[in-house]
Amino acid sequence: MKKYEFILKNLDCAACANEIQEKLSKNSKLYNVNVNFAKLKLTYETNEVTVDEVEKAVKEQEPEVEMIEIDKSKNEEEKSKIGTQIIRLLIGIMLAGIGLYTKLPLEISTILIISGYVVLLYRTTKNALKMLFASKKINENFLITISCIGAYFVGEHLEGLMVIILYEIGKILEEKSINKSRKSIKDLMNIKPEYANLKIGNKIEQVKPEDVQIGNIIVVKQGEKVPLDGKVIKGKAELNTSSLTGESKLAQVEEGKQVLSGSIVADGMIEIEVSEKYEQSTVNRILELVENATDKKAKTETFVNKASSIYTPIVVGFAAIIAIFLPIFTSIPYVGDNGSIYRALIFLVISCPCSIAISVPLSYFSGIGKSSKEGILIKGSDYIDAIKNIREIVFDKTGTLTKGEFDIKKIETYADYDENEVLKYAAIGENYSNHPIARSIIKKYSHDIKNENIEDFAEIAGKGISYKYQDKIIFVGNSELVGTENSNKNDFDMTKIYVKINDILAGAILLGDEIKEGTTETIRKLNNLGIKTSMFTGDNKEIAEKIGKEIGIQNIKSEMLPQDKYNEIEKLINNYSNIGNKGAKVAFVGDGINDSPVLARADVGISMGGIGSESAIEASDVVIMTDNISKIIKAIEISKKTCKIIKQNLIFSISVKLIILLLSTIGIGGIWQAVFADVGVTIITIFNTLRILK
Ligand code: ADP
Ligand code: MG
């Protein structure tokens, strides 16, 4: 199926975004329809529906919205309609002002006042009616329209005009601040390379990164972004990788080193042999991940959208009750500036949910943007919520807590094989595995094994590998795989990999791993935050205990196969919900080499240094770009801050509304104060949200 992406120009309310999404989703030939209000983006997949048909459906819902292709949208987006809005506002104020404050004949001043109303109310009323007829729903525009018209008929001209003037000013300011936050989020993720310097013979040509092929040579000069992944074949440079990893330290690269797209050459100049097409490159994968992340809406977000569509009709009903029944049961009259109709109108204005509908999605978006800047990719707003509620983190050992770069400490030989042979048979097979142990063994065996022909290679997760080579059946792996017991008490603190050839133990390779820098510190901080830490490993008990104790992990489980890890995680999750702690989340942190099922099963699956491993990215919810586990603390901080700001905004909006409501019930404050409060609250919440990005 083909994926389509468009920018929705002139989309100016979060609720309308939802309406469009709902409407398009009803078409069974459109799949994965999503409208992202924060980014004004529409995405869907289809084979049958034409763009024109989709555009027609969008226009039916929101006539002003235009669908623009992503590439062309760049310039269009900047040109907003704020200018015309300001002009309309001024004309309206002038007409109504002359009508109200000059001594013209009554008929003329009435006409002037009414035309002032019409000019000012035009957009709001049009939006209200559109919503009412297109989806039988009432929204804030509707509330404002009836408040104004109501005020006019009860004779409160100034009040009515103030409502719409303030509302329009508010809309303009709101649009300005939303544009600003969209821009700062965009700047944050400004890692997309614009061009590549392709080297053809002796000439250098500037081309689009998308047009460069694998094997092409590109040149990257000082100050430029590395546009594609590849290997340095000439030159030396210092790379700034901060936009990928959040690390500010410069990395030195020289001939033979891998470089990732998205980093910036701070000093020097390099020639790179491209190893991936742009679509598969690191930059593009990060951008796609972040894009898709904000499309998956968090529960709070959809809750707010859902709630507001039930909420508004209830509010209107309530206002009607106030207007009709108050005079029957009290001495309050129907009309007049303290009458029941006027009070009902105030009530309507106060109940506008705009500040909430705008600030909640914007907050999640900012949280995800901020984390990606730190080198932490969070795959959906749901996980921002979940991370804050993590009660237990389970770590994989190899490659997560330890470096996963094994040193070969010793090679034991049995039967008639010598050390070199043991290493050779291990290396030939391990060449096909991605496990950290495999990589370390290949590194040690320096002979060329690329062209060795092997058959029936199999990887037995959590145990080792098996393969056939020159008619020999060979196993390389732990004691369980080869069916032996390790009785040598002296080497318990090393990982022992046996090599078995045709049912005979040929030898064993003893490997030592090191604890990663900063691990102990991170575990301590997590424990201080009240988060329980556990380690699940496939390695033997002695090593597990030794390493676990050294870094201060609270709970250690060893000799586990990937499926054991899966079952244990499942048990943990169930335990928490059984003891009535349903909100408590369990996270699993792994390198994703053979832990994909566990990563997927955990409430929050976190993979490390994982941009290299496709399956880890697929299975995990959070990808940490570096090998640095302290990023987990950072992720927790960002998620806490985001949720705190959402909460602040909710509490602030609701309390201001309640206070105004209270004041208006006891007769203090009128409609336009209520509008002022609503607009003010919306803008303050947007600014508060921007603090997440700091
Ligand atoms: P961890 O849980 O520490 O990440 P794994 O589940 O990846 O460990 O592996 C557990 C054990 O299985 C390793 O300690 C090693 O003994 C053995 N093993 C796994 N894969 C391989 C391999 N490719 N070659 C040799 N041994 C392996
Ligand atoms: Mg592992």
Q: For the chain, list the domains and their CATH numbers.
A: 2-75 (3.30.70.100), 82-186+294-364+643-693 (no CATH), 381-402+515-620 (3.40.50.1000), 407-512 (3.40.1110.10)
Atom number, ligand 1, closest to the C-alpha of residue 536: 2
Residue 572: pLDDT band with limits 50, 70, 90? very high
Give CA–CA dist 421/508, Å, rounded.
11
pLDDT at residue 435, as a whole number = 85
**Among 293-307, 332-346, 445-459, the least confident range:** 293-307
Q: Is the CB of 476 under 6 A from ligand 1?
A: yes
Residue to probe by mutation, ligand 1, list 394, 396, 398, 496, most atoms within 8 Å of CB: 398
Residue 631 sits at the vertex; the CA angle it makes with 629 and 634, to the nearest 5 degrees, is: 145
User: Whose CA is closest to atom 16 on ligand 1?
Assistant: 478
Q: Is the CB of 495 under 6 A from ligand 1?
A: yes
pLDDT at residue 73, as a whole number = 46
pLDDT at residue 11, as a whole number = 81
430 Cα–ligand 2 center, Å? 15
pLDDT top residue among 634 and 167: 634
Give CA–CA dist 404/396, Å, rounded.
11
593 Cα–ligand 2 center, Å? 6
Q: Is the CB of 439 under 6 A from ligand 1?
A: no
Q: Is the CB of 441 under 6 A from ligand 1?
A: no
591 Cα–ligand 2 center, Å? 6
539 Cα–ligand 1 center, Å? 7
267 is catalytic: no
Q: What is the mean pLDDT of residues 324-336?
A: 86
Q: State which of 98-107, 387-396, 623-632 shows the largest mean pLDDT.
A: 387-396
For the beta carbon of residue 543, count every other beta carbon within 10 angstroms.
Answer: 22
Atom number, ligand 1, closest to the C-alpha of residue 459: 23
User: Whose CA is closest to atom 13 on ligand 1?
Assistant: 539
Which ligand is nearest the CA of 590, by number? 2
**Among 448-452, 494-498, 526-530, 595-599, the least confident range:** 448-452
Residue 79: pLDDT band with limits 50, 70, 90? very low
Atom number, ligand 1, closest to the C-alpha of residue 397: 3
pLDDT at residue 39, as a whole number = 75
461 Cα–ligand 2 center, Å? 9
495 Cα–ligand 2 center, Å? 13
**Among 64-73, 221-230, 596-605, the least confident range:** 64-73
* Active-site residue (options: 12, 382, 396, 595): 396
Q: Is the pLDDT of residue 338 over 90?
A: no
pLDDT at residue 176, as a whole number = 75
- All residues at 6 or more sequence positions from 286 whose CB lies less than 8 Å from its CB, including other chains: 191, 244, 262, 372, 377, 611, 625
Q: Is the pLDDT of residue 398 over 80?
A: yes
pLDDT top residue among 354 and 680: 680
Helix (H) or strand (E) holding 145, with range, is helix 140-153
Q: Is the CB of 497 under 6 A from ligand 1?
A: yes
Q: Is the CB of 513 under 6 A from ligand 1?
A: no
pTM for this one? 0.74
Q: Is the CB of 478 under 6 A from ligand 1?
A: yes
Q: Which residues are bridge partners to 225 per DSSP? A: 264
Atom number, ligand 1, closest to the C-alpha of residue 565: 2
**Among 79-93, 171-185, 291-305, the least confident range:** 291-305
Q: Is the CB of 465 under 6 A from ligand 1?
A: yes
User: Whose CA is closest to atom 2 on ligand 1?
Assistant: 537
Q: Is the CB of 594 under 6 A from ligand 1?
A: yes
Q: State which of 6-20, 110-124, 605-619 shows the largest mean pLDDT.
A: 110-124
Give CA–CA dist 178/172, Å, rounded.
10
Residue to probe by mutation, ligand 1, list 435, 443, 511, 513, most atoms within 8 Å of CB: 435
User: Are 361 and 38 a contacting pair, CB within 8 Å?
Assistant: yes
Q: Where are the beta strands (DSSP E) in 49-149?
A: 66-69
User: Are 395 and 568 a contacting pair, CB within 8 Å?
Assistant: no
536 Cα–ligand 2 center, Å? 9
pLDDT top residue among 264 and 12: 264
Residue 277 sits at the vertex; the CA angle it makes with 618 and 400, to the nearest 5 degrees, is: 35
Q: Is the pLDDT of residue 378 over 70?
A: yes
461 Cα–ligand 1 center, Å? 7
pLDDT tens figures, 237-264: 998 887 777 677 788 898 988 888 888 8
Q: What is the mean pLDDT of residues 538-550?
A: 88
Q: What is the mean pLDDT of residues 344-358?
A: 74
Identify the CA nearest to 140 among candidates 113, 161, 96, 171. 171
pLDDT at residue 76, as a whole number = 44
**Among 227-231, 339-343, 416-420, the least confident range:** 339-343
Which ligand is nearest the CA of 460, by number? 1
pLDDT at residue 652, as a whole number = 92
pLDDT at residue 302, as a whole number = 62
Q: Is the CB of 537 under 6 A from ligand 1?
A: yes
496 Cα–ligand 1 center, Å? 10
Q: Is the CB of 393 under 6 A from ligand 1?
A: no
pLDDT at residue 173, as a whole number = 76
Share of the chain above pLDDT 90, in %: 25
Residue to probe by mutation, ligand 1, list 463, 495, 566, most atoms within 8 Å of CB: 463
User: Are 349 and 675 a contacting pair, CB within 8 Å?
Assistant: yes
Residue 335: pLDDT band with limits 50, 70, 90? confident
Q: What is the mean pLDDT of residues 264-283?
A: 88
596 Cα–ligand 2 center, Å? 10
User: Whose CA is closest to atom 14 on ligand 1?
Assistant: 539
Residue to probe by mutation, ligand 1, list 439, 497, 545, most atoms within 8 Å of CB: 497
For the beta carbon of residue 588, count every other beta carbon within 10 angstroms.
Answer: 30
Q: Is the CB of 402 under 6 A from ligand 1?
A: no
pLDDT top residue among 604 and 678: 604
Atom number, ligand 1, closest to the C-alpha of residue 399: 4
Q: Which residue's structure tokens are 């969008």?
A: 58
Q: Is the CB of 244 under 6 A from ligand 1?
A: no
pLDDT at residue 78, as a whole number = 44
User: Are 646 and 300 a contacting pair, CB within 8 Å?
Assistant: yes
Using alpha carbons only, how large is the chain's radius of gyration in Å? 32
pLDDT at residue 623, as a whole number = 87
Q: Is the CB of 464 under 6 A from ligand 1?
A: yes
- All residues at 6 or more sequence positions from 580 whose CB lies less than 8 Å from its CB, including other chains: none
User: Whose CA is closest to atom 20 on ligand 1?
Assistant: 464
Atom number, ligand 1, closest to the C-alpha of residue 537: 2
DSSP string, 316-383: HHHHHHHHHHHHHHSS--SSSTTSHHHHHHHHHHHT--HHHHHHHHHHHHHHHHHHHHTTEEE--HHH
Residue to probe by mutation, ligand 1, list 428, 430, 443, 539, most atoms within 8 Å of CB: 539
Q: Is the pLDDT of residue 91 over 90?
A: yes
User: Whose CA is closest to atom 21 on ligand 1?
Assistant: 464
Q: Is the CB of 396 under 6 A from ligand 1?
A: yes
Residue 303: pLDDT band with limits 50, 70, 90? low
pLDDT at residue 152, as a whole number = 83
User: Are 674 and 681 a contacting pair, CB within 8 Å?
Assistant: no
Q: From residue 581, how far is each of 300, 604, 634 by CA, in Å?
A: 19, 16, 24
Q: What is the average pLDDT value for the chain, to the nearest integer?
A: 84
Q: Is the CB of 433 under 6 A from ligand 1?
A: yes
